[in-house]
Every structure is written in C-alpha cells, then in structure tokens.
Structure 1
C-alpha cells in the first residue's frame, strides 16, 4: 500500500534540482544535445557548434544560407526550446557563420 505523501524518485530529484538551482545547467545541456530535434536534420548538418553564454544560445553555422533561414524563425525557435525545457532557458539566439 502506497502512502499519499510518497513521491517518485524522479519527482524528488527534479524538486531538489529546482530548489538548488542545479536544473539550469542540466536543461542547457539537454537543449544543446537536442539541437537537431529543434531545427531538423538539414539545419543541424550545417551547424558547427551550439553553446550557451548565460541565457544566450550561440550557434556557429557552416553556411550563411542556413544561418539566414534560422534567423528568420528565431522567435518561434526560442519559444519552442523554452516550451520543451519547461522554463525560460533561452532569452536570445546569436547565429554566426
């Protein structure tokens, strides 16, 4: 019989991370690792690297054309990433080529 005040291990870890401000680096790593899921295979293929500088996502592209295409969808991309992350992880994205 399960007590009503019991929580799953995942919930306990998530609460601990939120309370100790450790969630942000983990979420940021998750965003970087899932870059292809956010932008698709074609855009990911032209990406040299993705990294965070505070709450800004820095993206180095191999192609100026791919960079311009991602710049056109920057706002919805930020919203999609933040929605997936469950918090305001990305305030801005800086693309360069």
Structure 2
C-alpha cells in the first residue's frame, strides 16, 4: 500500500529527523573511542530515537473505511480497525 491509498501518514521530515539522530549516534560512538565512555549514554539515546523516528515514519498511517470506521497502523506495523465515537458530553442547561 502506498501513500496515495492512505488518508494520513507522517511527513518526510520525521524520517530526516531519524537520520539526524543516527548521525548524532555515530558521532557519539566516535567520541566514546576518542575521549570518554560517558558518550555511550548519548549514543544509546540518539540511536534509540533515530530508529524510533524511522519506524514511526515508515509504519504509522490511517485509512478511513467509511464515515465512522478506520484502520490505523502502529509504529511496529500492527494494524487495528476501530470506530470513531461521537462527542457524548452532556451540555448543562
């Protein structure tokens, strides 16, 4: 399924943000070997955020089936079908 079939998908800047985080992770990894082992924490954080951003960009989307039902895909590609519930708030008179 391509993006033309989907009603909502994440923009390309989310993927670019993931790539920036992966580059920052590589920079932190080089600093681990050259200066201090404390950059390993930065590597782990940047690597995790980079992979998460790319997974979100690739797998999250929504497709409307009818006016009240839609399918959405999670970060890991798991698809769920759900219904939209109307606003059920009671107005005070």
TM-score (norm 2): 0.26
Q: With structure 1 as the length reference, what TM-score do the two structures score?
A: 0.25
Structure richer in helix, relative to its length? 1
